[in-house]
Amino acid sequence: MNDLHAAARRCLDTADPLEKVRLSFETWAALKAGSVSPDTSSPPPQPIGLPGRPERPRLVPARELAQRGLGTEAGRAALVHAIAHIEFNAIDLAWDAVYRFRGKPDAYYRDWASCANDEARHFTMLSARLAELGHAYGDFDAHNGLWEMAEKTAHSDTARMALVPRVLEARGLDVTPGMMERLRRQGDERTVAILEVILREEVAHVAAGTRWFHWCCARDGIDPEATFARLLADYMNNSLRGPFNLEARRAAGFSESELTWLTTL
């Protein structure tokens, strides 16, 4: 298979987590080696639907998820599982960005295939940590918020780049330092070390979102900051709330005026 769009679709459709990870690693390696590339003759993308997923975890509304404290091993396992679920979804989000949006520069496809590779590695690290805690992916309920936003933005590369990496994934930049501190207080340095890797690499993923959001805005002759504000209002009713990790968001390409505006929502 030498068509990157078809390879991305195969990763999306795969339900088994281990196979999805394996195919993600394989596809990224093939892209780096030059044995797959975007094919302009590839069939157009199909309408977005649910990607391949295992039967578990059971997906429930976020408000129905049990709240567990980090003072117990089960509570820490539930947190690790929640983050693993985010990373599993992020694999599909990255591959859908490759599969769905055509006619982009090669650097666009390289960025999101690299992101998928990173997310697959993050999921592998978290799955191993779950096993150390006596659990496996699927043992706890989860929600579908990330993919729901992918469905809402499937018609627009501009909206996708603004709202998935720069809003939903950027929330990880905001909340991860606090999670790490709470885990340190419980002596869970193993999980903290994994989150340090994820936080560092997620800055680059959000930065890719910023880069390609600005590219889309330049292509369409629209102002990126005004467009970001409009999309946040249209899709999320300006519901984004702090605290914000300003240092990480700056590193991910947020302007000072954007950061000032976010803190006043």
Distances (CA, A) of 169 to 39, 93, 247: 28, 10, 15
Q: Is 11 a domain residue?
A: no
Q: Is 202 a domain residue?
A: yes
What residue type is 152 in one-letter code? K
CATH number, domain containing residue 224: 1.20.1260.10
Q: Is 7 a domain residue?
A: no
Distance in angstroms (rounded) separating the CA atoms of residues 1 and 180 = 41
The confidence score (pLDDT) of residue 71 equals 82
Query: What values do phi and psi take at 192, rounded to 5?
Result: -60, -40
CA proximity to 40, closest of 102, 88, 96: 102
The confidence score (pLDDT) of residue 73 equals 87
Counting the structural domains of the chain, the total is 1
CA proximity to 165, closest of 222, 221, 218, 118: 118
The confidence score (pLDDT) of residue 89 equals 96
Q: Is 251 a domain residue?
A: yes
Strand partners, 142: 59
Residue-number span of the structural domain to which 210 is assigned: 16-35+62-262
Say if CB 18 and CB 88 are below 8 A apart: no
The confidence score (pLDDT) of residue 69 equals 79
Q: Residue 185: in which H helix or E strand, if any?
A: helix 170-185
Which pTM was predicted? 0.96
The confidence score (pLDDT) of residue 94 equals 98
Q: Is 45 a domain residue?
A: no
Q: Is 24 a domain residue?
A: yes
Segments in the chain below pLDDT 50: none
Q: Is 9 a domain residue?
A: no
Per-residue pLDDT reduced to its tens digit, 123-181: 999 999 999 999 999 999 999 888 999 999 999 999 999 999 999 999 999 999 999 99
Q: Is 120 a domain residue?
A: yes
Q: For residue 165, what are the contacts with CB-CB under 8 A and spacing of at least 6? A: 205, 206, 208, 209, 210, 213
- Residues 229-249 as b/e (b if ≥16 CB within 10 A, e otherwise) read bebbeebeeeeeeeebbbebb
